[in-house]
Chains A and B, each alone.
Chain A
Amino acid sequence: MTDEKDILAAAVEKEYSEGFVTDIEQEFVPKGLNEDIIRLISAKKQEPAWLLDFRLEAFRKWQTMTPPEWGHLSRLPKIDFQDIIYYAAPKRDEDRPTEIDPALMETFDKLGIPIQEREVLAGVKSKVAVDAVFDSVSVNTTFRKTLAEKGIIFCSFSEAVRDYPELVRKYLATVVPIGDNFYAALNSAVFSDGSFCYIPKGVKCPMDLSSYFRINASGTGQFERTLIVADEGASVSYMEGCTAPMRDENQLHAAVVEIIVEKDADVRYSTVQNWYPGDSKGRGGILNLVTKRGICRGEGSHLSWTQVETGSAITWKYPSTILMGNNSSSEFYSVALTNNYQQADTGTKMIHIGKNTKSRIVSKGISAGFSENSYRGLVRMNPGAEHARNYSQCDSLLIGDRCGAHTFPVIRNSNPTAIVEHEATTSRISEDQLFYCTQRGISPEDAVGLIVGGYAREVLSRLPMEFAVEAQKLLSVNLEGSIG
Chain B
Amino acid sequence: MENLLEIIDLHAGIEGKEILHGINLTVRPGEIHAIMGPNGAGKSTLGAVLAGRPEYTVTSGSVSFNGKDLLAMAPEERSWEGLFLSFQYPIEIPGVSITNFMKAAVNARRKAKGELELAPAQFLKLLKDKMAFVGMKGEFAKREVNVGFSGGEKKRGEIFQMAMLDPVCSILDETDSGLDVDALRIVADGVNALRSPEKAILIITHYKHLLELITPDVVHVLKDGRIISTGGMELANKIENDGFEGING
Mask: chain A, 281-320; 1 = CB below 8 Å from B; 0 = not: 0000000000000000000000000000000000000000
Interchain Cβ contacts under 8 Å between A and B, 11 examples: A436-B90, A438-B76, A439-B51, A439-B52, A439-B75, A440-B165, A444-B76, A446-B108, A450-B96, A450-B100, A450-B104
Known: A440-B79, A457-B95. A446 touches B54 (CB 8 A): no
What number of B residues sit within 8 Å (CB to CB) of A?
31
Min CB–CB distance B32 → chain A (angstroms):
21
Considering the complex, which residues of chain B in the window 71-91 have a beta carbon less than 8 Å from any beta carbon of chain A?
A: 74-76, 78-80, 84-85, 87, 90-91
A455 to B51 CA separation, bound complex (whole angstroms): 26
Min CB–CB distance B81 → chain A (angstroms):
10
Partner of B105, one of A440, A453, A454: A440
A454 to B98 CA separation, bound complex (whole angstroms): 11
B79 touches A439 (CB 8 A): yes
B96 touches A431 (CB 8 A): no
Partner of B75, one of A432, A438, A453, A455: A438
Mask: chain A, 430-456; 1 = CB below 8 Å from B; 0 = not: 111101111111111010001101111
B93 touches A437 (CB 8 A): yes
| Complex contacts, B55 vs chain A, CB 8 Å | 431
| Complex contacts, A446 vs chain B, CB 8 Å | 104, 108
B87 touches A441 (CB 8 A): no
Would you call A458 an interface residue if the criterion is a C-beta within 8 Å of the partner chain's C-beta atoms? yes
A440 to B52 CA separation, bound complex (whole angstroms): 12
Known: A441-B112, A441-B165, A450-B101. A433 touches B93 (CB 8 A): yes
Min CB–CB distance A452 → chain B (angstroms):
9
| Complex contacts, A454 vs chain B, CB 8 Å | 93-96, 144
For residue B80, which residue of chain A has the nearest CB? A441
Considering the complex, which residues of chain B in the window 87-125 have a beta carbon less than 8 Å from any beta carbon of chain A?
A: 87, 90-96, 100-101, 104-105, 108-109, 112
Known: A435-B75, A454-B144. A442 touches B108 (CB 8 A): yes
A455 touches B105 (CB 8 A): no
Residue of B76, B84, B109 ringed by the most chain A CB atoms within 10 A: B76
B108 touches A441 (CB 8 A): yes
B93 touches A450 (CB 8 A): yes
A453 touches B79 (CB 8 A): no
Partner of A453, one of B80, B95, B108: B95
Min CB–CB distance B154 → chain A (angstroms):
12
| Complex contacts, A450 vs chain B, CB 8 Å | 93, 96, 100-101, 104
Residue of B54, B92, B96 ringed by the most chain A CB atoms within 10 A: B96
* Count, A-B residue pairs, CB within 8 A: 79
| Complex contacts, B85 vs chain A, CB 8 Å | 439
A443 touches B93 (CB 8 A): no
* A interface residue numbers (CB < 8 A to B): 430-433, 435-444, 446, 450-451, 453-458
* B interface residue numbers (CB < 8 A to A): 51-55, 74-76, 78-80, 84-85, 87, 90-96, 100-101, 104-105, 108-109, 112, 144, 161, 165
A292 to B90 CA separation, bound complex (whole angstroms): 44
11 more CB-based (< 8 A) A-B contacts, given A431-B54, A433-B92: A433-B93, A437-B105, A439-B75, A441-B76, A441-B80, A443-B108, A450-B96, A451-B96, A454-B95, A454-B144, A458-B95
For residue A461, which residue of chain B has the nearest CB? B95
B93 touches A438 (CB 8 A): no
| Complex contacts, B96 vs chain A, CB 8 Å | 450-451, 453-454, 457
| Complex contacts, A432 vs chain B, CB 8 Å | 91
| Complex contacts, B93 vs chain A, CB 8 Å | 433, 436-437, 450-451, 454
Min CB–CB distance B25 → chain A (angstroms):
20
| Complex contacts, A436 vs chain B, CB 8 Å | 87, 90-91, 93
A441 touches B95 (CB 8 A): no
A430 to B55 CA separation, bound complex (whole angstroms): 12
A443 to B90 CA separation, bound complex (whole angstroms): 18
A433 to B105 CA separation, bound complex (whole angstroms): 14
| Complex contacts, A451 vs chain B, CB 8 Å | 93, 96
Min CB–CB distance A483 → chain B (angstroms):
11
B161 touches A440 (CB 8 A): yes
| Complex contacts, B101 vs chain A, CB 8 Å | 437, 440, 450
| Complex contacts, B90 vs chain A, CB 8 Å | 436
| Complex contacts, A455 vs chain B, CB 8 Å | 94-95
A472 to B85 CA separation, bound complex (whole angstroms): 28
A144 to B64 CA separation, bound complex (whole angstroms): 66
| Complex contacts, B54 vs chain A, CB 8 Å | 431, 435
| Complex contacts, A440 vs chain B, CB 8 Å | 79, 101, 104-105, 108, 161, 165
| Complex contacts, B109 vs chain A, CB 8 Å | 441
| Complex contacts, B105 vs chain A, CB 8 Å | 437, 440-442
Task: Please list the 8 inter-chain residue pairs (A to B) with the smallest Cβ-Cβ separation, ordered nearest first.
Answer: A454-B95, A454-B96, A441-B79, A438-B75, A436-B91, A457-B95, A440-B105, A441-B109
| Complex contacts, A458 vs chain B, CB 8 Å | 95
A441 to B84 CA separation, bound complex (whole angstroms): 9
Min CB–CB distance B46 → chain A (angstroms):
15
Min CB–CB distance B135 → chain A (angstroms):
21
A270 to B74 CA separation, bound complex (whole angstroms): 40
Min CB–CB distance A469 → chain B (angstroms):
12
Residue of A430, A439, A446, A453 ringed by the most chain B CB atoms within 10 A: A439
A450 to B95 CA separation, bound complex (whole angstroms): 9
| Complex contacts, B104 vs chain A, CB 8 Å | 437, 440, 442, 446, 450
Known: A441-B112, A450-B101. A456 touches B95 (CB 8 A): yes
A454 to B112 CA separation, bound complex (whole angstroms): 24
| Complex contacts, B100 vs chain A, CB 8 Å | 450, 453
| Complex contacts, B79 vs chain A, CB 8 Å | 438-441
A191 to B231 CA separation, bound complex (whole angstroms): 82
For residue B112, which residue of chain A has the nearest CB? A441
